[in-house]
Amino acid sequence: MTYSIGEFSKIVGLSEHTLRFYEKEGLIKVNRNDNNVRIYSDENKLWIESLLHLKNTGMSLKDMKQFAMWGHIGDETMEERLALLKNHRKKVVEEFEKLRQSLEHLDNKIYFYENELGDCFSKK
């Protein structure tokens, strides 16, 4: 199935401006019809979804562009893409651990204040 930029924008939840930016930056390759109008496909949808997951994990635009470039080149870049993903995963795990520790600290503070407030009310 194919989509205009307006239809595709609604499907993937990105603005038309963002889709044009992604194309300009080489993150996505878009076919065009005889009138040079962008035509998006279900394959583009899957690729955008993948890019958004990478973005949501904090991957830099530079690394996303590199990953996309290697993806457009083809199978001969699979090792490079794997290495980039493994390196990024390591960073995500480190950030996740920092967040887990901060969440634990926050939970301890909440527990402390809830107990203190409970003690104050029970003394009255």
Q: What is the CATH number of the domain that holds 94?
A: 1.10.1660.10
Write down the pLDDT at residue 116. Answer: 85
Residue 118 banded pLDDT, cuts 50, 70, 90: confident
Q: Is the separation of the CB atoms in 65 and 25 below 8 Å?
A: yes
Mean pLDDT, range 111-121, rounded to an integer: 83
Q: How many domains does the chain fold into?
A: 1
Q: Which of 29, 34, 24 is nearest to 61 (CA)?
A: 24
At a CB cut-off of 8 Å and minimum separation 6, what does 69 contact?
26
Give the tens place of pLDDT for each residue, 51-81: 999 999 999 999 999 999 999 899 999 999 9
Residue 88 clears pLDDT 90, i.e. is over it = yes
Number of other CB atoms surrounding residue 25 within 10 Å: 12
Write down the pLDDT at residue 122. Answer: 65
Write down the pLDDT at residue 69. Answer: 94
92 lies in which domain range? Answer: 2-123
Mean pLDDT, range 101-123, rounded to an integer: 88
